[in-house]
Amino acid sequence: MPTAIIVGSQWGDEGKGKFVDYFAKNTDAVVRFQGGANAGHTLIVNGKKIVLHLIPSGILHDKTQCFIGSGVVIDLFELKNEMEMVKAAGYSIAPERFKIAGQATLVLPFHRELDAARESKHHLGTTKRGIGPAYEDRASRRALLFQDLFSPQLKERLQLLAEEKNSLFEHLYNIPKINIDALYKKLIDIAEYFRPYLMENMSYVLNTWAKEKKNILFEGAQGTLLDIMHGSYPFVTSSSTISTSACLSTGLAPQQVNKVIGIAKAYCTRVGEGPFPTELKNEVGEHLRKEGAEFGATTGRPRRCGWLDLVALKYSVRVNGITSLVLTKLDVLNSFETIKICTHYKINGQETDAFSTSSSLMVEPIYKELKGWNSRINDCRKMDDLPREAREYVQFIEREVGVPIDVVSVGPDRVESIGMTSLF
């Protein structure tokens, strides 16, 4: 059963894209399973940067098939631009190797407008990419699916969806109504571009391939603490970001899952609103932001920064069933005399290492202070090359969370990595 799921184990932006690309080399397929163009997966290969929002991060390996699963919400206009960008960068996006599940949900332009209108009334810090409104429509059974683009009922289904929105736009949000005819025409025009990419039987293909022992990598977006069910609700995204979502969102049978790889940054960041116990609203946080270039790949927003939170990470290991971790951006900590790690929270005077997703809970982080290595580690390529303090930092995390750290990342490029090179 050579299947592995890669998930973000914090609040997103852990560096999943780099490691999906890194592990995709010997992989038959990479399947993106949830989220939409709210994600920004940055890949750097030979100094060249590519930012992907919807296309799986396996696309730079020409023998790897790339699939977008049913749980993803797709903005077709954005995806077309991304496909053209990938092609222009010299990579194949041919229908023989890139497929989209017919059951995936469409994000339409008015979903973005609704997301933005809601943000202006009630601020959650969303990416304004229409993600929440699109998932809402999916749950209300009015959404357009990717396969509807090719259906004779497209206009009828669009009307059903848009007419209700128009009433909301006019009476509640005071934003221009949807021109249904114009949008229908745009969808019909773009449908021809996408027709060769339709896959109607993704769960059949994935389960058959898993049984045939093909190597399949499932790529998550965002992070565990943004999960709609297990994150810090309501400050979450609108999909399930945890490992079980890979099955839910693609139709892979759970017993086919063989490994769950958690990507964790060596410190923490968060964009948008919501609780963040180890946040540093001071010059240390500024320093982390500057050293880590912590600005959103999708929105450009400055990310909130803080020390590594092991209470949150243990929770993530638990709810995802993480079998091993990849620790990213260790090099961002190069210039600290001392480094803090949160090992416990104090809640109502009581110490605990049990994470709570309650957004209203006031938690005080309790830290362990470790000596920093205060030197450049970016050229290290083996664990033994790392300074003793950096190795101790890694080992401390492993001991506390109880799973091995198989790879450490010491820079953004694919080659700036230490440890295991293949998952299968």
Give me the catalytic one of 21, 41, 53, 148: 41
Between 40 and 306, name the residue whose CB sits nearer to ligand IMP: 40
Q: Which of 222, 232, 241, 343 binds ligand IMP (CB under 6 A)?
A: 222
| Count of residues that bind ligand IMP according to CB under 6 A | 19
Between 127 and 323, name the residue whose CB sits nearer to ligand IMP: 127
Catalytic annotation present for 41: yes
Nearest residue (beta carbon) to ligand IMP: 272
Per-residue HEC secondary structure of 185-246 comes to HHHHHHHHHHHHHEECCHHHHHHHHHHCCCCEEEECCCCHHHCCCCCCCCCCCCCCCCCHHH
Q: Which of 17, 71, 262, 272 binds ligand IMP (CB under 6 A)?
A: 272
Residues 266/330, Cβ–Cβ less than 8 Å: yes
DSSP secondary structure letters along 22-50: HHGGG-SEEEE-SB-TT--EEEEETTEEE
Between 54 and 410, name the residue whose CB sits nearer to ligand IMP: 54
Q: Which two tokens stand for residue 169?
A: 């736009």
DSSP secondary structure letters along 270-320: E-SSS--TTB--SHHHHHHHHHTT-B-TTT-PBPEEE-EEHHHHHHHHHHH
Catalytic annotation present for 13: yes
For 99, residues 6+ apart whose C-beta sits below 8 A from its C-beta are 65, 66, 67, 68, 197, 198, 199, 202
Q: Which two tokens stand for residue 370?
A: 């470790």
Interaction between residue 221 and ligand IMP (CB under 6 A): yes
Q: Which two tokens stand for residue 2?
A: 């050579």
Closest separation between CB of residue 231 and ligand IMP, Å? 9
Q: Which two tokens stand for residue 103?
A: 């059951």
Between 67 and 135, name the residue whose CB sits nearer to ligand IMP: 135
- Beta pairing partners, 6: 219, 261
Between 266 and 390, name the residue whose CB sits nearer to ligand IMP: 266
The full length of the chain comes to 424
Q: Which of 238, 244, 245, 357 binds ligand IMP (CB under 6 A)?
A: 238
Closest separation between CB of residue 8 and ligand IMP, Å? 8
Between 241 and 250, name the residue whose CB sits nearer to ligand IMP: 241
x/- map, 104-143, ligand IMP, by CB under 6 A: ---------------------xxx-x-xx-----------
**Cα 206 to the chain's mean position, in Å?**
21
Q: How far apart are CA 311 and CA 356, in angstroms?
A: 9
x/- map, 24-43, ligand IMP, by CB under 6 A: --------------xxx---
Interaction between residue 82 and ligand IMP (CB under 6 A): no
Closest separation between CB of residue 36 and ligand IMP, Å? 8
Q: Enumerate binding residues for ligand IMP (CB under 6 A).
A: 12-13, 38-40, 125-127, 129, 131-132, 221-222, 226, 235, 237-238, 271-272
Active site residue ranges: 13, 41
